Structure 1
Amino acid sequence: MGIVVIGDVFIDIKGYSTSPYIPQGRNAGTIVQIHGGVGRNVVEDIANVELEPTFVGAVDDDAMGEEVIQKLKRHKVNTKYMRKANNGMGTWLAVFNHEGDVVASISKRPDHRTIERILDEHGDEIFKDADSIVIEIDLEKEIVKKTFAYAEKYNKKVYAIVSNMSIAIERRDFIRRTACFVCNQQEAGILFSENYENVTPEEMTDILADRIRSAKIPKMVVTMGGDGAVYADQEGDKGVYPALKVDVVDTTGAGDSFFAGVCMGLTYGKTLREACGIGTRLASTVICTSENICPRFMPEEFGLER
């Protein structure tokens, strides 16, 4: 079954300003439409390392939804537990300035009832043979609750990623039950009710080690953009993994790729630092293009073996 990913599919509509962005004016640029969504991005990134993951999710019951499924199949994703439904996919509309940063966005969330039905109907067979579980922790609470129940029934580790931290902070009890929680610097500030805007990576490492002890989170990684990522666990392992120097076009999707690398590394026996190294390498490959495409790798390139 490989790694099982439970999450959303979105259609991302992105507008890129080709000159300095004018907030109240008209901006010339380019517009692209691509497949997105945190869960979909993560499962495709895992598939691009030839690990044949499984995706549990929904798409719209139309040609675009079918296109999403067929693309994932071409990437060797197991789509057996994907379903077509009305409002199965979300939409993300975003505007970027000439430096590749998001300056405005609007998001429409999908209907998650289809995912809940998939778990009700196939939960045992999905979880029994999974290598590990990935879930968007801000999905509907019943979906998260059922995921952890199945994972504990079959003794599977759960790795959590977030797309909406304001929802995720209501799931602290589930975050404590994850094998590793990954978020960015701003999201960590929301989780711990602090401001980390001007904190250095070295300072963040010590802060993170202290906060996860009090919050009883087993492992946690916080990404800090160009400053790399910091990590800590309950056993005292902590540190900074530096970012790679690349030409940035669009940073969206980089966090998902980093998370995919961390999840793959931890699932298949790597240390937390080694897993952050895999995530860093994957993230660096997707921020150089507006399509956020991760190239294909072989597991052996990262020392991974199923």
Structure 2
Amino acid sequence: MGIVVIGDVFIDIKGYSIASYIPQGRNVGTIAQIHGGVGRNVAEDIANLELKPTFVGLVDDDAMGEEVIRKLARHKVDTRYMKKLPNGMGTWLAIFDNNGDVVASVSKRPDHTPVQYILEEKGDEIFKDADSIAIEIDTDREIVKKTFALAEKYQKKVYAMVSNMSIAVERRDFLRKTECFVCNEQEAGILFSEDYSETTPDEMAELLAERVKMAQIPKMIVTMGGQGAVYADQEGNYGVRPPMKVDVVDTTGAGDAFFAGVCAGLTYGKNLEESCGIGTRLSSAVICTSENICPRFMPEEFGLILD
């Protein structure tokens, strides 16, 4: 079954300003529409490591939804547990400046309820042979609750990602049950009610080592954009993973690719530092194109141990 990913599919509509972006002006540029969504991105990124993940999620019951399923299937993602429903996908509208950073965005989240039905009907079948579980922790609470119940039943490790930290802070009880939680420094600030905007990576690593113990989170990684990522666990291990130097085109999808690499690394035999290295390499490859496409790798390139 590979890694099972539970999350959303979005259609991303992106506008890129050609000249310097003027917040309240008319900006000339280009517009692209691509498949997105945290869960969908992670599943595709894991598939690009030739690991054949399984995706549990929803798409629209139309040609666009069918196109999403076909593309994931071409990437060797198991799509058997995807459902086609009206309004099954979300939409994200974003504007980017000349540095590839988002300067404005609006999103419409889909109805997650049908995912709960999938887990109730097929959960045992999905989880019993899974290598691990990756979930958007800010999805509906009943879905998260069912996921951790099934994971405990079949003794599977759960890795958590986030797209809305304001919702995720209400999931602290579940964060304590995750094998590893990954978020960015702004999201970590929301979780721990602190401001990390002026914190260096070395300082952040030491702080994180203290915070995970207080919060009883087994392992946690915080990405810091161009400064790399920091990691810490309950055993007192912590450190900094430097970034790779690349020409940035579009930063969206970088966090999803990083999480995919971390999840794959920890699932298949790597420690926190090594898994951060895999995530860094994947995210660096993604931000070099406006399509946020992760190139294909072989598991052997990262020394992943597959059964």
* Residue in 1 that maps onto 2:191: 191
Partner secondary structure for residue 259 of structure 1: helix
**Superposition RMSD in Å:** 0.4
* Residue in 2 that maps onto 1:23: 23
Structure 1, gaps ≥5 residues long? none
1:237 positional shift: 1.1
* Residue in 1 that maps onto 2:240: 240
* Residue in 2 that maps onto 1:289: 289
* Residue in 2 that maps onto 1:144: 144
* Residue in 2 that maps onto 1:210: 210
Question: Cα deviation per residue 1:39-62 (whole Å; 9 max; x = unaligned)?
Answer: 000000000000000000000000
* Residue in 2 that maps onto 1:79: 79
Partner secondary structure for residue 118 of structure 1: helix
* Residue in 1 that maps onto 2:171: 171
List aligned pairs for 1:266-281, cutoff 5 A.
266-281=266-281
List aligned pairs for 1:24-43, cutoff 5 A.
24-43=24-43
Counterparts of 1:22 and 1:277, CA distance in 2: 36
Counterparts of 2:102 and 2:78, CA distance in 1: 32
* Residue in 2 that maps onto 1:254: 254
Question: Cα deviation per residue 1:109-161 (whole Å; 9 max; x = unaligned)?
Answer: 00111111100110000000000000000000000000000000000000000
Partner secondary structure for residue 49 of structure 2: coil
1:305 positional shift: 2.7
* Residue in 1 that maps onto 2:54: 54
Q: Which amino acid aligns with 2:166?
A: S
* Residue in 2 that maps onto 1:229: 229
Aligned residues: 306
Question: Cα deviation per residue 1:232-255 (whole Å; 9 max; x = unaligned)?
Answer: 001111100000000000000000
1:85 positional shift: 0.6
Counterparts of 2:98 and 2:245, CA distance in 1: 19
Counterparts of 2:270 and 2:298, CA distance in 1: 16
Structure 2, gaps ≥5 residues long? none
* Residue in 2 that maps onto 1:13: 13
Q: Percent identity among equivalent residues?
A: 77
Counterparts of 2:77 and 2:136, CA distance in 1: 18
Q: Which amino acid aligns with 2:235?
A: E
1:99 positional shift: 1.3
Counterparts of 2:112 and 2:225, CA distance in 1: 30
Q: Which amino acid aligns with 1:251?
A: T
Partner secondary structure for residue 21 of structure 1: coil
Counterparts of 1:76 and 1:287, CA distance in 2: 22
Partner secondary structure for residue 173 of structure 1: helix
Counterparts of 2:208 and 2:296, CA distance in 1: 33
Q: Which amino acid aligns with 2:190?
A: I
List structure 1 segments (4+ residues) > 3 angstroms apart after TM superposition. Answer: none
1:277 positional shift: 0.3
* Residue in 1 that maps onto 2:201: 201
Q: Which amino acid aligns with 1:69?
A: I
Question: Cα deviation per residue 1:159-206 (whole Å; 9 max; x = unaligned)?
Answer: 000000000000000011000000000000000000000000000001
Q: Which amino acid aligns with 1:202?
A: D
* Residue in 2 that maps onto 1:67: 67
Question: Cα deviation per residue 1:27-79 (whole Å; 9 max; x = unaligned)?
Answer: 00000000000000000000000000000000000000000000000000000
* Residue in 1 that maps onto 2:133: 133
